[in-house]
Chains A and B, each alone.
Chain A
Amino acid sequence: MKNQDLNINKEYKYGFTTDIESIRAPKGLNEDTIKFISNIKKEPKWMLDWRLTAYNRLQSLKEPNWQKPKYPKINYQDLYYYSAPKSASEKPKSLEEIDPKILETYKKLGIPLVEQQRLNGIAVDAVFDSVSVATTFKDELTKKGIIFCSISEAIQKHPDLVKKYLGSVIPLSDHYFATLNSAVFTDGSFVYIPPNTRCPMELSTYFRINASETGQFERTLIIADKGSYVSYLEGCTAPMRDENQLHAANVELIALDDAEIKYSTVQNWYPGDKNGVGGIYNFVTKRGACRGKNSKISWTQVETGSAITWKYPSCILQGDNSVGEFYSIAITNNYQKADTGTKMIHLGKNTKSKIISKGISAGNADNTYRGLVDINKKATNSRNYTQCDSLLMGNKCGAHTVPYIKNKNSTSTIEHEATTTKINEEQLYYCNQRGLDQEEAVSLIVNGFCKEVLQQLPMEFAVEAQKLVAISLEGSVG
């Protein structure tokens, strides 16, 4: 990468706001807000009841506080729970009807909504603040019987599927933030892949928080029926603001017999400025269930943004011979904090899981890997391999590893290893000697350190992610 490119990108380049009128629910969290959301989305009664049940359960739940990164108390009554671009209130029927300003925003973000979609062959569902704005490539997917739409649409058009699977992996009142999401979720994506179908293209969602004082609560539900395959990408950005914004999403994946889901995330929410002011609180619940035999769920995440990242994409390996994978890069710079990892719960026989986690900490940041591997008594002949490596840059940051390992039968094997080091001086010297300056050298070495994870990303994302890794570490050396 050229040095000039880096300099241009030094600031958070997605920090702009878009000046469009939006409809908001009244501030505050109460039954009326929930009814407002449900009403504006023209939801059936069962959905509203579901939301209200979640809201009632929420009253008896406490916010968890065991995590490493602490944050000031969130005033849940001071947030807007619904914000939608005004023009979206009458649903556009085609891309031409979408507010050109929104399209322009997506163009700035580099999302291929109109033209590039054909070249890239990625079907995109874009979520702006709270509502899904456009879903591309619909026709081609419909031909194969694949459903890819916003969750609001799925609630209306495919209520049976939604009723059957929503909340089946993350129960209604799993924990505080998941329950909050169940009560007030505004939109998100829904994917259903019919039996024996291989989704012909990468499906993708792009999330953007635009309005201030808004929380974004999206809900994603992906179901891969018997023998199907889908690869799903997710990207996120937000404008630069001094206040902290809450993002509490729920993502549920369900893989039936012989199905495979690959879920990739490049998370680049606004991380706050150099002094740790502002930024997104990214408190997300992601969980996948390998329900069927021989099913597979693979999580890949590149976490570079957010003031606080707090999430554990997990796999529940219920089906015999099922496989769970977790590949993660978490980069924290300045005052960013990350507490992330995974849970692999082995329930079925011959289940396998693999965890590769790379944490990079620079500036005054704190980076924690926290994970659980639990092999149950009946999960005979199971296997887990975990590797978590941390890289420290500078002596003001911290890197922590907190794995929980449980093995309850004699035929299963668990292997775990972790290392913490700094960038090797000799490697740096060698790169310098070959004419690379300090920053280029660091970016090269860090990319090498992350290679195992970057390889897992689909081609289009891999390039972007590699750049992101370099940008996130700007100014952390020397």
Chain B
Amino acid sequence: MKQNYDFDIEKIKNLSQEEKISRKKNLDLFYKSGFPSKQVEDWKFTDLNLILNKNFDNISNEVNFESSKDFKAIENFEHNFIFLTNGKIISTNFDHEEKSKILIKDFNQEEVKNINPSNALALLNSALSSGGFSLEITKDYKLKKPLIVYNCFSQDLKNKILNNKNSIKLNEGSELTLIDYSDNNTQNNFIKNTVDTISLNKNAVLKNILIQNSKSNGHFYKYIKSSLESGSSYENYILSSGLKLNKIEIEINLNKDNSSCSIYSALNLLGDQHQEIKTRINHNSPNCKSYQKIKNVLNDKSKGIYQGKIFVEKVAQKTDAYQLSKALIVSDNAEFDAKPELEIYADDVKCSHGSTSGSIDSDAVHYLMTRGISKQEAVKLLINGFLNEVLEKITNNELKIFLEKILERQINGH
């Protein structure tokens, strides 16, 4: 089966002739393979080609759209924001900060060329990308309040694909909490293909939180590539329940000693939602730490997937790497697949992974019911307890309360 594509580089404005040629090359490379099917090992559990064929007649890369300047900011939670529509910056606000310490501009599309030539979607992104931001925090500046990136979408996106590129750079000793907040209640089928590049300099600290605020027919793919210098720390929290299809691919390169990273995910999937988290942690240097905890609750006909790889280079002695994926399968039509992988070439390491999947403990449900709680409530309570554990490590109380509320809404189906 072949998709009807209508991809046109000419639609993208302000391109130099040279860039057009380079984009054309990437597009041709993409055409060779098309959207990946399950024959591609990285897409074994998510047959993207099949899913798109089912849901789209025709896909095109329209870039002109109507955007409103208004959006509903989150209340009772002090924050800075970047407001994006279809990936383009509409407005920014850093009232809580020293503005000179923060550099924010439109992403210069020429800045990053091909990020991964073997990844068909990254190729497509390089060919068609338009829109995106680049953010840089100057040395030793620690943001006082979290930064929320509002991702909003126009109403005319049916059968469209959005390709965005963002870059985030934290200079030595700087700190940032970045919340990627997707808000989209359109019932239109559309695809969003994003490539984020993250670079953390010495001792920089980044917390990156991904939130999906409402149920949506969006088909999202996000590729995050990050590189860490010595002593830096990168934390990820993924709370992206609600999307019809979502695949988040995170590649973390621990390039210098004593850097550390963690990935926490709590998903409650309903209906026919399909979410995949794929990680690759490259331990390229000694004394680095990585930690992953992936939790899924699968209801109805949903499907959850975790593919995680820990790669330890020969030089990366004293590596401490851990990977855990847990799934609760609530419905007989739901499915959980996992491929937790270790590839290790250094001997003085501590690497382990665990993966479990199973049903809700019926004894626990029974116990709660004897205390007068209805079965439905009891199940919800247990799911809440199961997923909430992921937020335990967050020390900022305000942030924790905010995320707990989001999670609770997701457990109740938004």
Contact = CB atoms under 8 A, between A and B. Distances in A.
A315 to B, nearest CB: 19
B347 A410 contact: no
A418 B352 contact: yes
Nearest to B319: A420
B337 A405 contact: yes
Contact of A397 (B333, B341, B347, B353): B347
A418 B353 contact: yes
B110 interface: no
A414 B352 CA distance: 17
B335 A417 contact: no
B358 interface: yes
Contact of B357 (A402, A414, A419, A422): A414
Interface in B328-352: 329-352
Contacts of B354: 415-418
B358 A399 contact: no
B355 interface: yes
Contacts of A272: none
Interface in A325-362: none
Contacts of B352: 417-420
A204 to B, nearest CB: 36
Interface string B352-365: 11111111000000
Given A401-B353, A418-B352, A410 B329 contact: yes
B339 A413 contact: no
Contacts of A412: 329, 357-359
B359 A410 contact: yes
A395 B347 contact: yes
A118 interface: no
B240 interface: no
A401 B329 contact: no
B317 A395 contact: yes
A398 B359 CA distance: 36
Interface centre among A405, A409, A417 (most CB of B within 10 A): A405
A175 interface: no
Given A66-B41, A407-B357, A418 B345 contact: no
A406 interface: yes
B340 A403 contact: yes
A411 interface: yes
A416 B344 contact: no
Interface in A399-450: 399-422
Interface residues of A, number: 34
A33 B330 CA distance: 57
A392 B344 contact: yes
Contact of A398 (B336, B340, B343, B356): B343
A401 B340 CA distance: 8
B353 A417 contact: yes
B337 A398 contact: no
B358 A401 contact: no
A183 B353 CA distance: 42
A108 to B, nearest CB: 37
A401 B314 CA distance: 17
B179 interface: no
A179 interface: no
B205 interface: no
Contact of A416 (B41, B317, B331, B356): B356
Contacts of A420: 342, 344, 349, 351-352
Contact of B345 (A398, A408, A415, A421): A398
Nearest to B334: A410
A377 interface: yes
B238 to A, nearest CB: 20
A124 B335 CA distance: 46
Contacts of A416: 338, 340, 353-356
B281 interface: no
Interface in A367-417: 377, 390, 392-417
B335 to A, nearest CB: 5
A273 B337 CA distance: 41
B339 A405 contact: yes
Interface string B60-73: 00000000000000
Given A409-B332, A410-B331, A420-B349, A395 B314 contact: yes
Contact of B350 (A394, A403, A413, A421): A421
Nearest to B357: A407
A396 B332 CA distance: 46
Interface string A450-470: 000000000000000000000
A417 B352 CA distance: 7
A302 B343 CA distance: 22
B356 A415 contact: yes
Nearest to A422: B347
B41 A398 contact: no
Given A414-B355, A416-B355, A420-B349, A405 B338 contact: yes
Interface of B: 41, 314, 317, 327, 329-359
Given A395-B317, A413-B359, 15 more contacts: A390-B342, A399-B342, A403-B340, A407-B327, A408-B335, A412-B358, A413-B356, A413-B357, A414-B357, A415-B354, A416-B340, A417-B352, A417-B354, A420-B351, A422-B349
Interface of A: 66, 377, 390, 392-422
Which A-B residue pairs are the 9 nearest by beta carbons? A413-B358, A392-B347, A401-B342, A407-B357, A405-B338, A419-B352, A416-B355, A420-B351, A410-B329
7 contacts: A377-B333, A395-B317, A407-B335, A412-B358, A413-B358, A416-B356, A421-B351
